[in-house]
Structure 1
Amino acid sequence: MSETGLIDHPDGCPRCWWAGHDPLYVAYHDTEWGVPERDGRALYEKLILDGFQAGLSWITILRRRDGFRDAFSGFDPEAIARYDEADVARLMADTRIIRNRAKILGTIAGARAWLRIEESGPGFAPFLWDFADGRPIQGSARSRAEVQAETPVSRAMGKALKAQGFSFCGPTIVHAFMQAVGMVNDHLVGCHRHGPCAELGQPA
């Protein structure tokens, strides 16, 4: 890894340091991270998974993502909102996921909050994207040290999510979420994905 935080790969494409050399992580970095996501259900899934990541590495969650999706009804908020104590017990026994009762309960509460937002306003995706004024915020970090862990925007979004009934939505988790779903383009300048993600953020 260079001093900038970029990793050179055999394919000649410099990548952000955190992608490492794990093929699963590299594929995630190259195809998902930083790509603007505007589907409300997909945003719910990613926010919940980022909450499960708290205290763990993202690769731990990524390796279990299919198990999470199967255990949590494909992250369908309408289905999860109906979960009861039997479902909580089922999930607590499911070794494919992170078995944390508080996070499981937070997932259910978040599904119910998601439904309220969908029913009472423009929808979950517009609710979130409004914090970025509807367009990805373009980062300009050239080194790992320049990447922020939280921002005023992530603090405001986290506060709003908590007020709606979400949990595990502190400013650091929310900023990681915003980076992942392309609300912030935080690929390092020099990473081969910075430019393409910046282009995706341009108005049609």
Structure 2
Amino acid sequence: MTRCAWAGPEQIYIDYHDTEWGVPEYDSRALWEKLVLDGFQAGLSWITILKKRENFRAAFEGFDPNVIAAWGEEEVTRLLADPGIIRHRGKIEATITNARAWQRVEQREGFATMMWAYVDGVPRQNSFATQDAVPPKTALSERVSRDLKKAGFKFCGPTIVYAWMEACGLVNDHLTTCPRHAPCAALARPPH
């Protein structure tokens, strides 16, 4: 069996693939962090974000949306001067906006509850044999993207959302030839 083609050659990428990508994530805050990071990835490679992830976590107070929601121009200015992260004003401001949107969703129904409802609480199991067969977006990611935008989120287009759904295990897109396909499928929980 061979890992998904995108996983490597750098060890940080292999480790991410082998231990994190595609593992179902049920924690609201962790789901939000990954959505924010996928938004920062827009126009860049994931390895760039992965290498800076710990810097992001430090700069964004552990991605605590309740802290970030209270931020304003002072924090934006501080982050724009931080060479350890992606210094993009629009993405930084979107993170603050998204923290506020997350708070509203979390209070209303729970962010994790809302997201997992799209797949009825059970990860979708795909059976792609080649990377070329994996779509960049789906009708479902378009729907989730639309709903997130209605809820006030930014930097959450359907391609970003699909990459996020793959990363968080809402869909299992490990290739059938990958040794992580079956273990990730086995982690699927039945709906509560």
How high is the TM-score relative to the length of structure 1? 0.92
Q: Name 1:137's counterpart in structure 2.
A: 124
CA distance in 2, matches of 1:120, 1:40: 13
Deviation at residue 132 of structure 1 after TM alignment: 1.1
Q: Name 1:124's counterpart in structure 2.
A: 111
Letter in 2 for 1:51: G
Q: Name 1:182's counterpart in structure 2.
A: 169
Q: Name 2:89's counterpart in structure 1.
A: 101
CA contact (8 A) 2:94 2:155 kept: yes
3-state secondary structure, aligned to 1:65: helix
CA distance in 1, matches of 2:153, 2:25: 19
Q: Name 1:52's counterpart in structure 2.
A: 40
Deviation at residue 201 of structure 1 after TM alignment: 1.3
**CA deviation profile, 1:97-147 (whole Å, cap 9, x unmatched):** 0000000010000000000011122x0001111111111000110011110
CA contact (8 A) 2:121 2:189 kept: no
3-state secondary structure, aligned to 1:16: coil
Work out the number of aligned pairs and report it.
Answer: 191
Q: Does residue 165 of the first structure (1) align with residue 152 of the second (2)? A: yes
Q: Which runs of 4+ in 1 moved over 6 A?
A: none
Q: Percent identity?
A: 57
Q: Name 1:35's counterpart in structure 2.
A: 23
Letter in 1 for 2:88: N
Q: Name 1:66's counterpart in structure 2.
A: 54
Greater RCO, 1 or 2 (C-alpha within 8 Å, sep 6+) = 2
CA contact (8 A) 1:129 1:135 kept: yes
Q: CA RMSD of the aligned region, Å? A: 1.0
3-state secondary structure, aligned to 2:190: coil
Deviation at residue 178 of structure 1 after TM alignment: 0.2
Deviation at residue 203 of structure 1 after TM alignment: 2.9
CA distance in 2, matches of 1:78, 1:26: 32
CA contact (8 A) 1:132 1:153 kept: no
Question: Which structure has the greater CA radius of gyration?
Answer: 1
Q: Name 2:137's counterpart in structure 1.
A: 150
Q: Name 1:10's counterpart in structure 2.
A: none
CA contact (8 A) 1:81 1:109 kept: yes
Letter in 2 for 1:116: R
Q: Name 1:110's counterpart in structure 2.
A: 98
For structure 2, list consecutive stretches of 5 or more residues without a partner in the other structure: none
